[in-house]
Amino acid sequence: MADDGTGRSAPWTDPNCPVARTLDLVGDRWSLLIVRDAMDGARSFTDFQQRTGIARNILTDRLRKLTAHGLLAQVDAPSGRRRLYALTEAGKELFPVIVTLRQWGERHAFDADEPHSVLVDADGARVPDLLPATADGTRLTSDTTSVRRPA
C-alpha cells in the first residue's frame, strides 16, 4: 500500500487499478532504480548506494519497502557477516517493465546523437523492442485496447 508520509500504510491510491497499485509499490524513482540495479547484480546496501547516489536514509526506506512488499528478500552473504538483497520472483517479473521503460527512454529521452547504455542479450545482440501483441501477433496499442472496470 501507499505510504501516507508517516510510515504507515495508507489506502491504495486507486484500489481497482493495477497500474495505480503498482505505482504505489514501485512508482518512485528510487525504487525502480534499485530494482534495475538488482537486476544488474547489485546485492549490498553499498552496491545500491554507489550505483544510484541515493541518500542512506532514503535507500534504507526503499529497501525496507521493497522487501516488505516481496520484491526483494534479504539473504545471508557467503561470509555470514552481513545481509544482502536478492530479487524475488515478483521482483524479477518487473524485468519487462524495466526493459520497456529503458526502450521508451532510448527513443524519447535522448537526442539522436547522444550516447547511452544499451541492453544486450547473452550473445551481445541488442534486445529487440518489447511490444504488446495479441495471441496471433497483432500489435496492440492504446487505440486498440480498453479497460474493463469492475461493476
pLDDT tens digits, one per residue of 2-24? 555 545 556 778 888 999 999 99
82 pLDDT band, cuts 50/70/90, is confident
The position carrying cell 535522448 is 110
Domain 18-92 class? Answer: mainly alpha
Provide the Cα torsion 127, 131, 133, 139; round to 10°.
-120
In this prediction, residue 2 carries a pLDDT of 53
Kindly report which listed range (4-18, 72-86, 114-128, 131-145) carries the lowest average pLDDT score.
4-18
Query: pTM for the complete prediction?
Result: 0.85
Taking the domains of the chain in order of start, what are their residue ranges? 18-92
